[in-house]
Amino acid sequence: MFFQKVVKGIANISSYEAQAIVEANGIVCNWWRNAVTITKEEIKSNLVDSNIFHHLNHYNHKLPSGHSLAHLGTSYGDVSPFISTTAGAIQRDAFHRRNILFDPFITALCFATNNFTASGFVFYAYLITLGKAAVALEQFAEEVRELHIYQYYLPYHHEGEIMAKVVIPSAQIEKAEEYDGPAVLRELKNRRKPVPISAVITNPAYSHPDDFINIRELL
């Protein structure tokens, strides 16, 4: 078991909403947000392999008309019980005999700013992983980026996904930083690290993972 540090970008939310996420509500899945209330029985029936497959491969695809959750949204992403985060990824370039690192911070920035066109927040958190698939266990995240666990081809493997389930509790969220997309793009083009455009939102009730064991840092 590991405490895996992750980052997640969320676009087009206010400072008030970001503060509520950090200090109280946590990051909830789209299914819960759209349904407003969910039950333990519903959680059990939705944490299944087929929903992971749709989240990873059909996120923006239209739901079939007969889907049981079609009244909550139009796409598989709208009703997903899973939450995408990133911890970075490494892919092999065999031709050039090198490995390529995909920085999790840059991946999170892309999502936070809608590919550098909007403002948004990058959240810093941690998830608990088992080192194996445990889809039915709500408390453990899925290491989707790990090829020894998720062996089928994923077009977005470079995003370094660590997949949370239902909610990331606020106690596991350290802070949030706000970024402006166009400003971020200018900084990256000039090979400078982007800086937040407002005060960092920190969590006074953060449960620091250093109090535990087996901590995995971002790549």
Within a domain: 45? no
Q: Quick one: which H or E segment has residue 164?
A: strand 161-165
Cα(81)–Cα(10) distance, integer angstroms: 17
In a domain, 11, yes or no: yes
Domain harbouring 185, CATH code? 3.90.210
Question: 211: which DSSP letter?
Answer: G
Rounded to a whole number of angstroms, the distance between the first and last alpha carbons of the chain is 18
Q: How many structural domains compose the chain?
A: 1
Q: Quick one: pLDDT at residue 1? A: 86
Reported pTM: 0.94
pLDDT tens, N- to C-terminus, the chain (219 residues): 899 999 999 999 999 999 999 999 999 999 999 999 999 999 999 999 999 999 999 999 999 988 999 999 999 999 999 999 999 999 999 999 999 999 999 999 999 999 999 999 999 999 999 999 999 999 999 999 999 999 988 888 999 999 999 999 999 999 999 999 999 999 999 999 999 999 999 999 999 988 887 677 887
* Beta-bridge partners for 123: 8, 176
Residue 112 counted as domain residue: yes
* pLDDT at position 155: 87
Containing structural domain, residue 116: 2-29+81-216
Enter the tokens of residue 98.
């090198």
The single-letter DSSP state of residue 152 is S
Do the domain assignments include residue 210? yes
Is 61 part of a structural domain of the chain?
no
**Any domain includes 43:** no
Whether residue 64 is contained in a domain is answered as no
Which H or E run contains 199?
A: none
DSSP string for residues in 166-183: SEE-GGGEEEEEEEEHHH
Specify if 49 maps to a domain: no
